[in-house]
Amino acid sequence: MKITVCIGSSCHLKGSRLIVEQLQGLIKENALEDKIELVGTFCLGQCQTGVSIKIDDTLFSLAPEDTKSFFEKEALTRL
Amino acid sequence: MNDLCADIGYNSLNKFGEELCGDHVEVIEHGDDSMVVVLADGMGSGVKACILSTLTSKIISTMMAAGMSIEDCVETIAQTLPVCSVRGVAYSTFTIIHIVNGREAEIIQYDNPQVIMLREGKNLPYETEALDLAGKHILKSRIRIQEGDIFVALSDGAPHAGIGVTLNLGWKRENIIDFLETYSHVGFTAKTLTTLLLDECYSLYGGKPGDDTTVCALKIRKREPLNLVIGPPSNPADCNKMMSLFFSKEGKHVVCGGTTSGIAAEFLGKQLLPSLDYYDKDIPPTAEIEGVDLTTEGVITINRVLDYAQDYLNENDSYKQWSSKKDGASRLARLLFEEATDINFFVGTAINPAHQNPNLPISFNIKMRLVDQLSECLKKMGKKIKVSYF
């Protein structure tokens, strides 16, 4: 599985760094380094609704404080 | 065109307790490869000295850049400067370094400490010819310049540093030369060399400079072009035109902005690979594109580079930050301030609808202003700037 986090200007200001750091932590905690690839991207063209994030090809919009529940609900269930 | 140019840096310490500096440095570029640099030290200190040195350096640099002779300059100054009511004379010492056509340095000195010249890291004594102009004893030299030559002009506050505080007789010319020789090999920019020398003077003075102290360094170097593209063109149909102009330019290539780097990667037919390494928590990570020297995010990164640039022209305190860090803003600052001499900005004027949100501090006007302010700062560092809009 590939999780892509937008690190463009808008998303950066809306907190993509906090999401990246939390996801890195969660992937490590659950020992999923082999199963989940975490990458960055510049601008997904959805700046208004950022932080933009993709699980494989599905687009989501995420706020930093919801990262943990998002990871449990959307990422873990798809593995 | 000659491929040599001068990197210039200068700064002053004010006499302890003075608001104004009695020394003044003025730089005027004229023609493609010529510039006049004047360091003037006004008599006394404070307001009076400041007026004298500002007038002297402005008059000389403007007249020399317009091609007038040194005789005319000195005569004009003698007739223009206000006469001091206490001492009955109008007086400001000066040093002129005139880089002519990127080939020759003409040095004209009046009563300032003699300009120090380093070639290949070693002090190079040079010949001077004495002139008597309007009763003033003036030294004149002409030197053919080479890559790596360093010229350092000083006001007398520098060799006087530490008299009676940390040293009995002050910091002699030989000591200053030793100091400069030690650092000249490292490859510091003229500005950094200036900062190092002034810091040393400041500590010799025990933090209380007894006189205005000014250092102005010129370093002769090869031209190093750099091209920076930021923002997509206002008409999306112009993407290819903008990118082919950009990539056809000689020198390094820097791409700033998320959308812009996507366009550049597509143009080159290469992958855009962003990293997730936050070397600075406020600066978005950089990315890699094969064939591009540096790819960064846009406005946030440039905004930080502008902060560094403004500081570089003043105290240069943030040097410690950007000189070694790996985030996009630090890397871009090093490329722009230290490496490049000729910078071409390719500015796309498309409006990013997402940035027109009042909650985001990155509107279109801000982007345009950032580029304007940054090019102003870079010009003050002695760089040649060209800005094209698309």
- Name every residue whose Cβ is closer than 8 Å to that of residue B377 and which is 6 or more positions away in sequence: B306, B309, B310, B312, B313
Distance from the B358 Cα atom to the nearest Cα atom in chain A, whole angstroms: 11
Region B351-373: mean pLDDT is 75
Contact (CB<8Å) B262/A39: no
For residue B249, pLDDT over 50 is answered with yes
Q: Number of residue pairs across A and B with CB atoms under 8 Å?
A: 69
Give the pLDDT band of residue B262 (cuts 50, 70, 90).
Answer: very high
pLDDT of residue B150: 95
Give the pLDDT band of residue B358 (cuts 50, 70, 90).
Answer: low
Contact (CB<8Å) A42/B275: no
Mention the CATH class of domain B4-222: alpha beta
pLDDT more than 70, % of chain B: 94
pLDDT of residue B363: 65
For B86, counting Cβ atoms within 10 Å of its Cβ (0-12 exposed, 13-18 middle, 19+ buried), the class is exposed
Distance from the B176 Cα atom to the nearest Cα atom in chain A, whole angstroms: 47
Domain boundaries, chain B: 4-222, 225-389
Region B56-85: mean pLDDT is 85
Disruptive mutation site among A13, A18, A27 for chain B (greatest number of B CBs within 10 Å): A13
Task: Looking at mean pLDDT, say which of A48-52, B182-186, B299-303 comes out highest.
Answer: B299-303
Those residues of chain A whose CB sits closer than 8 Å to some CB in chain B are 5, 7-10, 12-13, 16-17, 20-21, 24, 38-43, 47-48, 50
Contact (CB<8Å) B272/A42: yes
pLDDT of residue B90: 66
Which residues from chain B sit within 8 angstroms of residue A51, using beta carbons?
none
Any alpha helices (H) in A1-79, and if so which ranges?
A: 9-13, 16-29, 67-70
pLDDT of residue B244: 95
For residue B309, pLDDT over 50 is answered with yes
Disruptive mutation site among A12, A38, A39 for chain B (greatest number of B CBs within 10 Å): A12
Closest residue in B to A15 (Cα–Cα): B282
Give the pLDDT band of residue B352 (cuts 50, 70, 90).
Answer: confident
Q: Which domains, ranges and CATH numbers included, belong to chain A?
A: 2-74 (3.40.30.10)
pTM > 0.80: no
pLDDT of residue B91: 75
